[in-house]
Chain A
Amino acid sequence: MTITAAPVTRRLSLAARPLRCRNCGAVREAAPVAICDACLGPLEPVYDSGRRLPDRAAIGARVPSLWRYKEWLPFDGEPVRSLDSGFTPLVEAPALARRLGVGRAWVKNDTVCHPSLSFKDRVVAAALNAAAAFGIDTVGCASTGNLANAVAAHAARAGLKAWIFIPDELEAGKVIGTSVYGSKLVRVRGTYDDVNRLCAQVADRFGWGIVNVNLRAYYGEGSKTLAYEIAEQLGWRLPSAVIAPMAGGSLVSKLHKGFGEFLAAGLVAGPAPRLYGAQAAGCAPIVQLVERGGDQIEPVAPRTICRSLAIGNPADGVFAARAIRDSGGWASAVSDAELVDGIRWLAQDTGVFGETAGGVTVAAALSLARAGRLRGDDEVVLCITGHGLKTIEAVGGALGEAPVIAPRLREVAALVERPHPLTPSPQGGEGERA
């Protein structure tokens, strides 16, 4: 008697949602494309309006990851990859609230997002599940660093090949934090905008899943989970203001969408938070659009140490500016010196070490508060989106040298008796806190 193994059929229980053009409204089947065939407008996933949505208790009983909100992510069925990303701490920050002169403040701490220590773990979790749904075995991205880290880490875990393109002059932490995972890392001479253009051509030529190009419609939805988590972690209510950094502008527009979806689902009550966007002054095309009005981004050539936000031609800039204005918020650009101070204020007020974009966010919050845009009764959430150890070059020079001593008690005593602090405070920091 011959025993033959029954054929094993592996059926993926995951399918990507269809897509609709945000410009002309045309609907198409799910596909690894991000632009409309007809008008070249951006595509976004279409959700089944009759789908069964969970209530607060059902969500609260789920595993603490971004997939606890799966009904608002662009898939049918169960996710198969990156199941443990998201659900980062929301940390109350009373010292930061005092510094800003607002009622309460929290840090949404995506510096500890799993596994690559930035909010890009959220979007990559979504993108790599889209890649699974489409049977794509090679993924990639154009990145200013955090996305590179995230794609490399998630792809390694999923056993996917990855081609990652970055500008040639990125911080060492961003470069090493990508290449360690075994991805094919390519450094391109030029700015992020040059890398981005190249990746649009790469996606078109090689048929890979470039997460922020042809998988962008699915990828971007992952950012909404930041909004959902803020609402749930505040006890199913909304803050009055949210401040987030802006590079391509996607995060702010997805926060707007995410808060709106939870309001529509009746999980929280209004009003929606005012959204504030933060950029470095050396690359602030979205801030300029908010201040100027209109509906066209004017690209800039980036000049800032905040490389993670150095996108001169932001793909979602128009949508971000619209979300900011519709919400009643505003935008602010800060100098490189201010962002370095911002990193230090954040660390010293909250115990959270953010990368340059975090410094931009804190410094912009202070600038908005000084301009009267944040109020004394505001409840403010600052989105701190990447870990400071990735960009130590930015802040290292601003910190004093730690003293080196012999292992003798009297040398410690001499330090204790010293009148000045071991490391200088950021400019103006002590005075404001006094």
Chain B
Amino acid sequence: MSITVNLPSVLAAHAGGARSVIATGRTLGEAVADVAARYPALGPRLRDEAGKPYRFVVFYVNDEDVRFRGGFDAPVQDGDEVTVIPAIAGG
């Protein structure tokens, strides 16, 4: 299982400058947990203390807002691309 997680530059700074990282997991939540385990500084910027998506980022799986797909319960599979976008933009 190999999922690509794309990071905005503001988060890349917390991942040693990596603009994308590889993760494993069957759900988005598992993939995020995997990333957080390897990049501890990213963890609190991806999920809150309750284990929910952090309120200032939005996750997309293959360009679809995961809030329409069950949030962290959204299933992911090999080859999927997860994109993290800061929540404060647009409008």
Contacts and interface: CB of A to CB of B under 8 A. Distances in A.
Contacts of A248: 90-91
A34 B89 contact: yes
B56 interface: yes
Contacts of A199: 89-90
Contacts of A212: 89-91
Interface of B: 8-11, 13, 45, 54-58, 60, 63, 65, 67-68, 83, 85-91
B10 A37 contact: yes
Contacts of B86: 34-35, 40, 200
A316 B91 contact: yes
A35 B10 contact: yes
Contacts of A35: 10, 56, 86, 88
6 contacts: A35-B56, A41-B56, A194-B63, A197-B65, A199-B90, A213-B89
B91 A315 contact: yes
B65 A200 contact: no
A201 B85 contact: yes
A199 B65 CA distance: 15
A313 B86 CA distance: 12
Interface of A: 23, 33-35, 37, 39-42, 142, 192-194, 196-197, 199-201, 203-204, 212-213, 216, 247-250, 296, 298-299, 301, 311, 313-316
Which of A33, A213, A247, A314 has most B Cβ within 10 Å? A213
Which of A34, A196, A313 has most B Cβ within 10 Å? A313
A404 to B, nearest CB: 44
Nearest to A247: B91
A35 B57 CA distance: 11
A40 B85 contact: no
A249 B91 contact: yes
Nearest to A203: B89
B88 A216 contact: yes
Given A40-B45, A40-B54, A200-B8, A193 B87 contact: no
B67 A197 contact: no
Contact of B90 (A33, A200, A298): A200
Given A299-B68, A301-B68, A315 B88 contact: yes
A204 B65 CA distance: 19
